[in-house]
Amino acid sequence: MLEDRNIVLVGFMGTGKTSVGKALAKKLKRCLVDVDRRIEEKEKRMIREIFEKEGEPYFRKLEAEVIREVCRQRGVVITTGGGAVLDPANVAALRESGILVCLSARPETIFKRVKNSEKRPLLPTGDKLAQIKKLLDAREPFYEMADHRIQTDEQSPEETAACIIGFLGSAGT
Ligand code: S3P
């Protein structure tokens, strides 16, 4: 595994990016850089409030800026928000900085993981499972662009992290 390449976790909400990112960073003794947390630190408010008060385009602009910044770092684990890959310029910057690993899960698993979360502005109240299915379908082509893909439904974050280390190691990346 090349030490200076970042490992970038992408994927839909609730696929485990944050918990797998933490486990991966711990196992590899790398720093963890979470794009959404950086945005919240910069703005001194929660993502949900940014969406509510300023709207999604404002959030996407911030997200793109923060991605540019974090991509200057090397040898870290980067976790991104579920919509980060919608902007091809984000994907290009992330890919240039490292290797893109997409975490996936079935809509039902995602629903179980996020149904009580109040942090997800893109899943308002109502039929959340239907909203998840629709968004997942629309985003599938973007997640397909990742270098590797891993299903997290039946695995703990530690198991998924170990799997990622396994295939990155054997791929010589
Ligand atoms: C979003 C996912 C969220 C956060 C924002 C937008 C998305 O991150 O970036 O609410 O567009 O899917 P998580 O994937 O960590 O929930």
Give the chain's mean pLDDT: 94
110-140 tens-digit pLDDT: 999 998 888 888 888 789 999 999 999 999 9
Provide the whole-model pTM.
0.96
Q: Tell me the HSE value of 119 on the side-chain side, using a 13 A CA sphere.
A: 13
Contact by Cβ (8 Å): 136, 12: yes
Mutate to test the pocket of ligand 1, among 22, 122, 134 (most ligand atoms within 8 A of CB): 122
Protein residue with least CA distance to atom 9, ligand 1:
81
145-157 tens-digit pLDDT: 999 999 999 999 9
Cβ atoms within 10 Å, residue 61: 12
> CB of 82 closer than 6 A to ligand 1?
yes
Q: How far apart are CA 157 and CA 151, in angstroms?
A: 11
26-58 tens-digit pLDDT: 999 999 999 999 999 999 999 999 999 999 999
Mutate to test the pocket of ligand 1, among 63, 120, 128, 135 (most ligand atoms within 8 A of CB): 120
